[in-house]
Each structure stands twice: as structure tokens, then as C-alpha cells.
Amino acid sequence: MPSNSIFVKAFFGKLITTTFLFCFFFIGQNVFSQNSDAPQYANAEAGWQWVGSSDGITYIPVCWENPQNFTTERLWVQNAITNTWESVANLSFYGWSQCQTNSKGIRILITDTRSNSRIGRHLDGRQNGMELNFTFRNFMPSCQAENKKEYCIKSIAVHEFGHALGFAHEQDRDDSACNAERNTGGGWKLTDYDTDSVMNYCNPRWNNDGKLSPKDIKGVQTLYGAKVVKSKGTFTVKDVLDTSAGQLWENVVLDFSNTVGGFRQFFSLSNSTSSQSRVWNFPSSGVHCYKVWTKTRFTDGKDYSGYGEGCLTLTQGKFYSFSLIQTGWNPKGYFNLKIQNDYNTKEIF
């Protein structure tokens, strides 16, 4: 496992709770070597990652199950998320109004319990998918003090929204010496172990005082892209399940990056979802590179892996469309992969 990595656990639907000190993980199984073309694969469960829109931004609706009488506290939470996760990554949390019966996204219940959250997109539309404590009468009563209440609410919210984006606790990593409420589970890492993570129970600063560490920022930007504040282009990749060739399902992980950063997205194809597109944005012209890993099962019951990489010269402000294709077998026994221009053109306007 390379040293640069956050963790991605296998138990995506698991309820994650907040206590005193926090850590940073991500959901899946052992992933890729960044220094080799070995077709290592992340056994990522379908549907955990919030999907980016056609403009490259990931929009996540937020609503409150019971917002009454907590106007100030709700604003503290919204500001804390705006000034942390949303300020550094290509994310947009929107809505923040009262939940309706059919509301999607993150649904927050205000309740005097130990704050907790589901992981990633498993929150989407789930009633009471996140619980936040605003009164602290029963749990953590020390946070009732006027000089602590805002601090507690903001710090806990930043941690729980980390779970909502897909991150689990840093102390659960196999390279962590922290044993505070430690759980076990495989995963793939996006950064080195981070003592200062807002997700680390063994952080000497409780919830890192509600501030993202440099590695927290690196991790969320790996998954959702760095915040783009200037004119950008988009880069769309489509994958189609080749049922005529006997493909039953295919999982894909694709990194797309340049000198100012990039991020990683997942595809998960099956008979019920035979094609998927993923969108990246890029803020500047220049050379942009990709790496892609696949695992595919065929009707013969066998699993086949694939790997590919390459670079492209893209122009700021333009829109590109590519398809993921196989170009034969590598002598090592896996598919060679590449992305190919759609419509025999470089850009789509």
C-alpha cells in the first residue's frame, strides 16, 4: 500500500458517531499502487460517492427535520461547512431548509444524543441520516456553557459532514497506533496517517478545533476536486457495459489530474446500470493525465482486471467527451485501457 493515501471502509451503511477526538478514512478495499501499472483494484461499493454534475461541481442538498427554535445554531453549522469542506473542494451544499417527505440529500435531525452520521451517499434521502446535538443536556453537558456551545456545535458538524462526504475515522487505519474506540476494516488511503485530522479520535485538539488539516484538504480534493473559482472546462468520460461480449458487471476507478490537482471517481456498471458518465472540471490549459483501473466479471464466472494511463492537452473553457475502451491484453494478463475521443473530435461546445 503506498504511503500517500485517507481510508475507505467496506461498511458504507454503518452509523458513525462522534465523541471527543477524530480521524480521517475513506470507503472501499485495498486500492492502487501509484508507482506501478499493476492492476490493483478498490472493491468499492456502488453508490457511496456523491456524483458531480455536468459542470464538475458536486451539489449536495441539505435539510433539517426539525429546525424550529434553532435558527442561530443552524446558521453556525451552515457557516462551519461553508468555511471548511465547501471552501476547499468543488462542493456545493445547498437548501438548508426544512425537510419535506421526499427531500433528498442530507437530512439532519436535531436531538440531544451523541451526534452521528451515515457514510457518504448512503445518507441520500434517509430520514434522520445525520443527528446533531444543539442542547447538550444529556450528552456532553460541558458544551452547554455559553463560551463553548458555538465551538462544540461547529466542531462536531465539521466532523459529521466529513462522514457525509465518505470519510470514516482515521484511527481505524492499519497504520494507526490510536486505540480510541477503534474499529477494524480494510480500506484505501488517500494521505499519510494524519494525527491532526478532524476525523481523528487521537487528535490532541478536539475535532482539530473544527478546522481541516492540510491532509484533510488533500483528501477531499482527491475525491471531489479542488475549489475552482475561475473559468473552467469539463472533461466527461463514459463507460458502457459490453453485454455482447459477456460482461456481467464492471467497476472502474479513474484518476484525472494536472499540475493544479485533480480527483478520483468511480463507475459501477451492471445489467440495471449498463452505462455511466463521470464529469471532471479543469481550471487551466495544459497537459492533463489520467490513470484508470477496472475489474470486470464475465459470463464464464471469471474476473478480469484492467489498467491504463495517458495524458492529453486540454484548453481552458472547452468541453471534452471521451469513452473508456479496451485495446487488447497486456502480456501480464490484464486488459489495456485507454480513453478515446468521442465523435472523432477533441472538444464539444
Residues 226 and 90 sit within 8 Å (Cβ to Cβ) = yes
Half-sphere exposure in the Cβ direction for 103 (13 Å, CA):
23
pLDDT given at position 246: 92
**Measuring CA to CA, which residue among 162, 171, 226 is closest to residue 194?**
171
- Delimit the domains of the chain by residue range: 16-224, 233-344
Question: All 3 cell numbers of residue 261?
Answer: 490537482
Q: How far apart are CA 199 and CA 210, in angstroms?
A: 10
CATH fold label, 16-224: Collagenase (Catalytic Domain) (3.40.390)
Q: How far apart are CA 276 and CA 269, in angstroms?
A: 7
**Measuring CA to CA, which residue among 339, 331, 125 is closest to residue 237?**
339
Residues 102 and 60 sit within 8 Å (Cβ to Cβ) = no
Q: Which distant-in-sequence residues (6+ apart) come within 8 Å of 347 by Cβ? A: 315, 318, 319, 320
pLDDT given at position 24: 35
CATH number of 233-344: 2.60.40
Per residue of the chain (349 residues), give pLDDT as tens.
233 333 343 333 334 444 333 333 333 322 223 333 323 222 334 567 898 888 788 999 999 999 999 999 999 999 999 999 999 999 999 999 999 999 999 999 999 999 999 888 989 999 999 999 999 999 999 999 988 999 999 999 999 999 899 887 887 777 777 766 556 554 567 788 888 989 888 888 888 899 999 999 998 998 899 987 656 678 889 999 999 999 999 999 998 876 556 678 899 999 899 999 988 887 778 888 899 999 999 999 999 999 999 998 888 778 888 999 988 888 888 899 999 886 544 433 2
Question: All 3 cell numbers of residue 304?
Answer: 478480469
Q: How far apart are CA 105 and CA 97, in angstroms?
A: 12
The CB density around residue 340, as the number of other CB atoms within 10 Å, is 12
Q: What 3 state SS string does 278-340 have?
A: EEEEECCCEEEEEEEEEEEEECCCCEEEEEEEEEEEECCCCEEEEEEEEEEECCCCCEEEEEE
- Beta bridge partners, 17, equal 116
pLDDT given at position 47: 62
Q: How far apart are CA 155 and CA 263, in angstroms?
A: 26
Residues 253 and 293 sit within 8 Å (Cβ to Cβ) = yes
Considering the entire predicted model, what is its pTM? 0.62
284-to-230, 257, 262, 305, 347 alpha-carbon distances in Å: 9, 11, 12, 33, 15
pLDDT given at position 107: 97
Q: How far apart are CA 19 and CA 155, in angstroms?
A: 11
Q: How far apart are CA 219 and CA 221, in angstroms?
A: 5
